[in-house]
Structure 1
Amino acid sequence: MIARLPVMARVPVIASLLTRRAKSGDDGSIVVEGARKANGGKGRTRVVMTMAVFFGIYLTITGRLVYLGFQNPDLSGGPQSRVTASRPDIVDRNGEVLATDIKTASLFAEPRRIVDADEAIEKLATVLPEIDYEQTYHKLKSGAGFVWLQRQLTPKQQSDILQLGIPGIGFRTEKRRFYPAGETSSYIVGLTNIDNQGISGMEKYIDEQGLSDLQASGLAVAKDLKPVQLSIDLRVQHIVRDEVATGMEKYRAIAAGAVVLNVKTGEVLAMASVPDFDPNNPYNAHDKDRLNRMSAGLYEMGSTLKSFTTAMALDSGKVTLESRFDATRPIRIGRQTIHDFHGKARVLSVPEVFIYSSNIGSAKEAEAVGIEGHREFLHRLGILERMQTELPEVARPTEPKVWKQVHSITIAFGHGVSTTPLQTAVGCAALVNGGYLIQPTFLRRAQEQAMSVAKRVVSDKTSESMRYLYALNAEKGSGRNARVPGYRVGGKTGTAEKVVNGRYSKDKNFNAFVAAFPMDDPQYIVLTIADEPKPEKPGMGATAASNAGVMAANIIRRSASMLGVKPDFSHENGATLVSYQ
């Protein structure tokens, strides 16, 4: 039928037949509409597969980042992102720098990039001979991404290592503390650790006042940190440190120390203790003999405590300067006998008890006040309380749990309780400044600020009497070696036998001298100590007058003008008896 139709007539018919076949597909041939459907399905499949691949890649990267986030950066990553935190400068009262930050280089390695660990160590040892071979080898063979090899190198060490050309090692700039004064003020300024965090002295105090929080939050920016100004006068500090170091050597003592204290403000102008250390190279800072004996050492202070015994008796109203005590015979209590070192074997007035340093007279002064009154007075003056100041290294004094008569008697002349030399100086300042206890500070403080926190502990009349007794003792008593012409020095010696194996030793003393000047209007206390001093020459004594007293005189002689005290020779050490109405 189709064959009989003309060509032009056959076209619509063929198209019609093809359409029916495409719809029916009854002969299994590939028709037009089926091809379009098949090609469209394959395209969608490709898109889905491509998206799945990309999602898989992103999930893998995300998982890796999460994994690395929980790893130790020292072992698996590059250098830590935290930059060593800045610290404020520490300066003395005149603006002289005591501590500051400097930049330094630290050496690290990427073990995964180390080609030959043995060769790398051999080369590094030519610049760093102190390097630990075994430890460094294990680090370099660990396969980690990052390890420290040496912190805080010198510029020369960094330059020499760079010239070695070792692949897989690098440098990171960090900050470290530099102390221009070296050991001069080491115990006061203190130390930082390898991460520039304060671990002792005023460095630790600064961290505790909020610096550590600023560092943790990343806000400790050098330009925003104001210098911390101390009460220390570096000139006087140098003198004090020099004198105690010289004294320790001269008297062959195992230790020595001194403090200069402003009696009107409580400011510590200088404080030193030897042996000490260089904070720029503190390899021996933790040795057992490296101790700030002035604030962290506990000692029986010997006859310097008689200052408090006499002041207590006078302040109680039960004793006056005209009172007299029988020191004819030793005191026997239990199995103990109390003697005088240089006994007069007669009745002594209160001034004589003080200048002759009579143990018997001091014991009877304490008896006049009573046991409870004695204990209360020493606590009132802070001698037996833990001292409150900025310096972290402060020891807690010791005393008998229960005071008995024998305790009160021995404590009256300086045995039986232990306190710090700095606390003794603070207590003595209260005896001469009009009767006000002012806690010591290592920061600048005006007199008005000091008086706002001061506590009256003795009457002005008692303070006036103690100034007289100190001046009298320097003129006629054991304090003569501490006199300095023109500066009206007064003071009290203290020679205490040390306890060795539970018994008082006859040949090992702890000596102290407390001096005040100028005595007509005291401005400063100087307290010196010498631990187990020996006689300077054969035949000489080793009491406090011959060593601690001499050290105090030298400090006053060299530093008085720097402290603003003008010499006055018009009434050289003329102790005038105060008038009692």
Structure 2
Amino acid sequence: MSSAYLPGLGFAAPRTATRDPAGAETARLDRQARVRLILAIVAFATIYAVIAGRLVVLASLTPASPVHYLSPGEQVSHARPEILDRVGNVLATDIMVPSVYAEPVRIVDVDETIEKLTTVLPDLDRTDLRRRLTSGRDFIWIKREISPAERAAIHRLGIPGIGFTEENKRVYPAGAITGHVVGLVNVDNLGIAGYEKHLDVAWLGALHQAGLAHTARLEPVTLSIDLRAQHAVRDELIRAMDTFKAKAAAATVIDVHTGEILAMVSLPDFDPQRPSEALEPDRINRMTTGVYELGSAFKAFTTAMTLDTGRFDLKSTFDARSPIRVGGNTIGDYHGKNRILTIEEIYIHSSNIGTARMALAVGIEGHKEFLRKLGFFDRLETELPESGAPLYPKVWREVSTMTIAFGHGMSVSPLQAAAASAALVNGGKLIPPTFEPRSREAADRLARQVISPQTSDMMRYLMRLNVVKGTAKKADVPGYSVGGKTGTAEKVVNGRYSGNKVLTTFLSTFPTTDPKYVVFVMLDEPIGTTETHGYRTAGWNAAPTAGRIIGRVAPILGVPPEFAPIDGEEPLTVSY
């Protein structure tokens, strides 16, 4: 009992003690609530801390190969830039096409679904489709890149779990005409050959990996190719293959001052819209991937090497009176003159004996060094990933120098030879070839002087002389001062030279008065015809083919003919 103070009495009166059960219980419950709240906060904070830590760990990991999980309707194909020729013609572009997919977990009746889909898409494999539709997966492709009509037909069927998405599809308006140059893509719109593959390797692939090239509108890229010239070259090669019954053909046109490739064709070719054609063995790009012994066309390089030493001129002589016997082999001439010949005569009569003696006069090391300067010991590098490595003797003997001098014993790609031949006529500058536009100033910065301007002048003279008086008369085109060198090489079959299969080439330039372009033509296994009087050598097939090409592409490329009076005759007036 306690006391209480009573006013006026001066003492405290006793107070009776009391208890409040409801208030105590309330206090206890408040304490429990606070404890539970604190525990919940701590628990949630711990959970979020674990999740945050896991996200940090996952974000720091770099998988060996990025994994991307598709979701229904997601854009999966990659956007690509348009590819244009030098005058703006479209060589490759993207269009949007539908693709059909399925969500197997939502399929109600697999048998009905298969039955309905195959009525619209009869090429589907029913067994494989059943396996995938019963896989329990969230997403599978039914067919990529279907037609709008097929999409509409499937949509009308109203099949649960079937959907559509829009994807980029690559189309090639020029078709096979530029197949080997432009290349092709796979179903995901990724480059797998030709310039398309170069784009991915150079920069487009990085955009794809960063996810920045799915639907973006990319700036077009321009090639050095002129579609008009490309068509003309291909048309003439088709004609030559038909006329001379050749199994294959190839040709290129190169600007001698910039290295730009205006046209490059290899037949048989393929249409990028039908990728399976590109897999056939005979569809390789013979201009870049194939390497060949070029026969007498190689004599142009041997002649330039000899003249560039400064020890010889066009009137210097070499003994071609009798064959050369070396290592159990005999080096002879096809139509031998059996006399001492000047360098000028050796060139226009295509003397193997005289050319071999010229190379011996320069020496083995000098010969190897000159060919190395021309790049013939290295794989040619261009924007196209397809490139063949040169073949040459591992042990280089005297006989190697003699045979390689006239085009046997060393194999290079035709494009490599064409690029090197440009240096013979452009003042002596070796310029890397390119499929992209390049200015003359940019080319000069890349150029290497491999022969003197004086040697280049002599080579232009010899090339023209060979068309006027030598083995390449059928390459002449009035008004265009064509020059060049023919080559006929026996093909190697099972390690031995075949007696009845040849590769013919013509390495040419025009106009020799002021060279602007090199034209290289190659025919694989042409045969003699009535038109050629049974001959199958380059002067009868590759040379006239090059002449027809020059006659067609020169006006396209803006090279007007020049007709000067000859021996007092009146000038010839022509229209073109």
Same fold (TM over 0.5): yes
1:96 matched residue in structure 2? 89
Shift of 1:73: 12
Query: Secondary structure at 2:120's aligned position in 1?
Result: coil
Amino acid at match of 2:562: D
Aligned counterpart in structure 1 of residue 355 of structure 2, from 348, 356, 362? 362
Indicate if the aligned counterparts of 1:74 and 1:145 stay in contact, CA closer than 8 A: no
Name the CA shift for 1:572/1:502 in 2 (closer, same or farther; >3 Å): farther
Provide the rounded CA distance (Å) in 2 between the counterparts of 1:260 and 1:212.
Answer: 30
Deviations 1:213-248 (A, max 9, x none): 122223337666321111111100111112222222
Deviations 1:278-330 (A, max 9, x none): 11121221221111100111000111100011111111123211112221211
Indicate if the aligned counterparts of 2:77 and 2:214 stay in contact, CA closer than 8 A: no
Aligned counterpart in structure 2 of residue 258 of structure 1, from 243, 251, 256? 251
Does structure 1 residue 109 correspond to structure 2 residue 132?
no
Provide the rounded CA distance (Å) in 2 between the counterparts of 1:565 and 1:111.
Answer: 64
2:10 matched residue in structure 1? none
Amino acid at match of 1:551: T
Query: Secondary structure at 1:280's aligned position in 2?
Result: coil
Provide the rounded CA distance (Å) in 2 between the counterparts of 1:118 and 1:573.
Answer: 88
Indicate if the aligned counterparts of 1:318 and 1:369 stay in contact, CA closer than 8 A: no
Indicate if the aligned counterparts of 2:79 and 2:216 stay in contact, CA closer than 8 A: no
1:28 matched residue in structure 2? none
Provide the rounded CA distance (Å) in 1 between the counterparts of 2:39 and 2:327.
Answer: 102
Name the CA shift for 1:157/1:571 in 2 (closer, same or farther; >3 Å): farther
Provide the rounded CA distance (Å) in 1 between the counterparts of 2:414 and 2:31.
Answer: 95
Shift of 1:573: 13
Does structure 1 residue 570 correspond to structure 2 residue 564?
yes
Structure 1: which 5+ runs fail to align? 1-15, 24-30, 575-581
Aligned counterpart in structure 2 of residue 412 of structure 1, from 369, 387, 405? 405
Does structure 1 residue 557 correspond to structure 2 residue 551?
yes
Aligned counterpart in structure 2 of residue 548 of structure 1, from 542, 545, 548? 542
Query: Secondary structure at 1:284's aligned position in 2?
Result: helix
Provide the rounded CA distance (Å) in 1 between the counterparts of 2:565 and 2:303.
Answer: 26
Query: Secondary structure at 1:519's aligned position in 2?
Result: coil
Q: Which moved more, 1:337-346 or 1:266-275?
A: 337-346
Name the CA shift for 1:83/1:501 in 2 (closer, same or farther; >3 Å): closer
Q: Identity of aligned pairs, percent?
A: 50
Q: Which moved more, 1:490-499 or 1:239-248?
A: 239-248
Amino acid at match of 2:541: N
1:8 matched residue in structure 2? none
Amino acid at match of 1:552: A
Provide the rounded CA distance (Å) in 1 between the counterparts of 2:558 and 2:353.
Answer: 40
Shift of 1:118: 2.4
Deviations 1:71-94 (A, max 9, x none): x99998623856433221111111
Provide the rounded CA distance (Å) in 2 between the counterparts of 1:134 and 1:57.
Answer: 47
Indicate if the aligned counterparts of 1:438 and 1:450 stay in contact, CA closer than 8 A: yes
TM-score (norm 2): 0.87
Shift of 1:44: 8.1
Does structure 1 residue 314 correspond to structure 2 residue 339?
no
Indicate if the aligned counterparts of 2:390 and 2:413 stay in contact, CA closer than 8 A: yes
Does structure 1 residue 371 correspond to structure 2 residue 369?
no
Name the CA shift for 1:140/1:55 in 2 (closer, same or farther; >3 Å): farther
2:193 matched residue in structure 1? 200
Name the CA shift for 1:571/1:280 in 2 (closer, same or farther; >3 Å): farther
Aligned counterpart in structure 2 of residue 428 of structure 1, from 421, 436, 441? 421
Shift of 1:210: 1.8
Shift of 1:111: 0.3
- Could you list the structure 1 runs, at least 4 aligned residues long, displaced by more than 4 angstroms after superposition: 31-59, 72-77, 80-83, 221-224, 571-574
Does structure 1 residue 279 correspond to structure 2 residue 278?
no
Provide the rounded CA distance (Å) in 1 between the counterparts of 2:477 and 2:564.
Answer: 14
Shift of 1:56: 13
Indicate if the aligned counterparts of 1:76 and 1:145 stay in contact, CA closer than 8 A: no
Provide the rounded CA distance (Å) in 1 between the counterparts of 2:441 and 2:22.
Answer: 105
Query: Secondary structure at 2:346's aligned position in 1?
Result: helix
TM-score (norm 1): 0.87
Name the CA shift for 1:131/1:235 in 2 (closer, same or farther; >3 Å): same
Provide the rounded CA distance (Å) in 1 between the counterparts of 2:515 and 2:72.
Answer: 58
Provide the rounded CA distance (Å) in 2 between the counterparts of 1:45 and 1:170.
Answer: 53
Does structure 1 residue 446 correspond to structure 2 residue 439?
yes
Query: Secondary structure at 2:484's aligned position in 1?
Result: strand
Name the CA shift for 1:32/1:422 in 2 (closer, same or farther; >3 Å): closer
1:479 matched residue in structure 2? 472
Amino acid at match of 1:394: S
* Structure 1 segment 204-219 matched on structure 2, within 5 A: 204-219=197-212
2:229 matched residue in structure 1? 236
1:147 matched residue in structure 2? 140
Amino acid at match of 1:204: K
Indicate if the aligned counterparts of 2:73 and 2:163 stay in contact, CA closer than 8 A: no
Which structure has the bigger radius of gyration? 1
Amino acid at match of 2:463: Y
TM-align CA RMSD: 3.2
Aligned counterpart in structure 2 of residue 515 of structure 1, from 483, 496, 508? 508
Indicate if the aligned counterparts of 2:105 and 2:138 stay in contact, CA closer than 8 A: yes
Indicate if the aligned counterparts of 2:79 and 2:217 stay in contact, CA closer than 8 A: no
Indicate if the aligned counterparts of 2:74 and 2:165 stay in contact, CA closer than 8 A: no
1:495 matched residue in structure 2? 488
Name the CA shift for 1:573/1:256 in 2 (closer, same or farther; >3 Å): farther
Provide the rounded CA distance (Å) in 2 between the counterparts of 1:261 and 1:572.
Answer: 30
Deviations 1:331-360 (A, max 9, x none): 100111111111122222211111111111
